[in-house]
Chains A and B, each alone.
Chain A
Amino acid sequence: MTQFAAYTTSTGEAFQFWVLGTIAVIGALCTVFMKKAVHSALCLAGTMIVLAVFYLANGAYFLGIVQIVVYTGAIMMLFLFVVMLVGVTAADSLKETIKGQRWLALLCGLGFGILLIAGIGNASLKEFDGLGQANANGNVEGLAALIFTKYVFAFELTGALLITAAVGAMVLTHRERTERAKTQRELAEQRVREGKHLPPLPAPGVYARHNAVDIAGLLPDGTASDLTVSKTLRDRGQIRDVSAQALSDLKALEQRAEDRLERTNSGEGSK
């Protein structure tokens, strides 16, 4: 690290910037344009790791580690949980529904970006100081000194903010139970009283030909029953059809079984 004002960084850092910078931009673009939310999340995680490397390169060692631990470790995992809750495999249509929205968005984005870059280019930032002096006693110590002196009030406030956010999240996702939960006995008795579907729900999959929870099982008369598929998948509309091929296979199987039984019958008859 240079101690004094400099105009350029090392060649290694420049190389690293151009390579990782490209990756970061690609990751960001993929975040925006991937159809599936889970892919977007993964791409974003990649971009964030790249950014963590950049933090480290800029002398922000603490922030670099925090970026990896908190952002990619905690926040992105939170995203993935929610994505799973909402539907991992659900692909969004990228077709625009609001008239003119896409063009307006692109126009604004383009204009905004050009203006921003023009603004940066306009500012005369030819030389920089570097963090050698600031990080002399170690980056974490330097940050700590600032946080607990100059920024102590803001720091305390962020603590309060985090607690509030935690409570808020609980309040938002918590469902108030207005009546006592029914015991298993009461549920069983209710089911008998109502007289609907006493036995356990049928299992999915057709004659175990598919090891799949998203294919409806067939009833004895050959029709598919949605009851066999988990409620979550039903809500997401992720039930796969029992294909005609499978049905014809089934028919063939039954035919063969019948033939065989007949033969057995006739064999016995001939004896």
Chain B
Amino acid sequence: MNPVNYLYLAALLFTIGATGVLIRRNAIVVFMCVELMLNACNLALVAFSRMHGNLDGQIIAFFTMVVAAAEVVVGLAIIVSVFRARHSASVDDASLMKL
């Protein structure tokens, strides 16, 4: 098996995550799908690292994890405060920015 298969898997997971973002209305699930996309990227980076024989890809994946952690913290805080204000976690309910 060629490690390139990991890339195919990463692409598949990324696409599934992206489609999930577009389909789901629950903000928490949408957020989970974003995490799925980030993880897919990480998998690709790790696979690249192996294919090129250096650790830079892993470093980037590491940074991605850190950024994802920070993003999750802020994102969930936003979801909580939105839920407090509107008693709903649906992204469609926050649709005031329209004509």
Min C-beta distance of B96 to chain A, whole Å: 16
**A117 contacts B11, CB within 8 Å?**
yes
Which of the four size classes fits the interface of chain A?
35 or more
Chain A hits for B14, CB < 8 A: 116
Q: Mark B63-99, 1 if CB is under 8 A from A, else 0.
A: 1011111111110111111010001010010000000
Total number of B residues with any Cβ neighbor in A under 8 Å: 69
- Give the complex CA separation of A74 and B69 in angstroms: 9
Chain A hits for B33, CB < 8 A: 31-32
- Give the complex CA separation of A8 and B8 in angstroms: 16
Beyond A92-B25, A143-B62, whether A44 also contacts B50 by CB under 8 A is: no
- Give the complex CA separation of A132 and B49 in angstroms: 11
Task: Kindly count the residue-residue contacts between A and B in the assembled complex, taking CB atoms under 8 Å apart.
Answer: 239
**A71 contacts B39, CB within 8 Å?**
yes
Chain A hits for B39, CB < 8 A: 47-48, 51, 71
Chain B hits for A71, CB < 8 A: 35, 39, 65
Min C-beta distance of A58 to chain B, whole Å: 5
Min C-beta distance of A74 to chain B, whole Å: 7
Within 8 A of B (CB), among A142-185: 142-143, 146-147, 150-151, 154-155, 158, 161-162, 164-166, 168-170, 172-173
**A151 contacts B17, CB within 8 Å?**
no
Chain B hits for A168, CB < 8 A: 73-74, 77
Beyond A28-B17, A41-B32, A131-B49, whether A8 also contacts B6 by CB under 8 A is: no
Q: Which residue of A lies closest to B88 (CB)?
A: A86
Stretch at the interface among A120-128, A195-203, A249-257: A120-128
List 22 A-B pairs, Cβ < 8 Å: A17-B9, A28-B36, A54-B43, A55-B46, A60-B46, A62-B62, A63-B62, A79-B76, A82-B79, A106-B19, A113-B11, A117-B8, A120-B7, A128-B50, A129-B53, A134-B55, A135-B55, A146-B59, A161-B70, A164-B70, A168-B73, A169-B77
Chain A residues in contact with chain B, CB under 8 A? 7-9, 13-14, 17, 21, 24-25, 28-29, 31-32, 37, 40-41, 44, 47-48, 51, 54-55, 58-60, 62-63, 66-67, 70-71, 74-75, 78-79, 82-83, 85-86, 92, 94, 96-98, 101-102, 104-106, 108-109, 112-113, 116-117, 120, 125-126, 128-135, 139, 142-143, 146-147, 150-151, 154-155, 158, 161-162, 164-166, 168-170, 172-173, 235
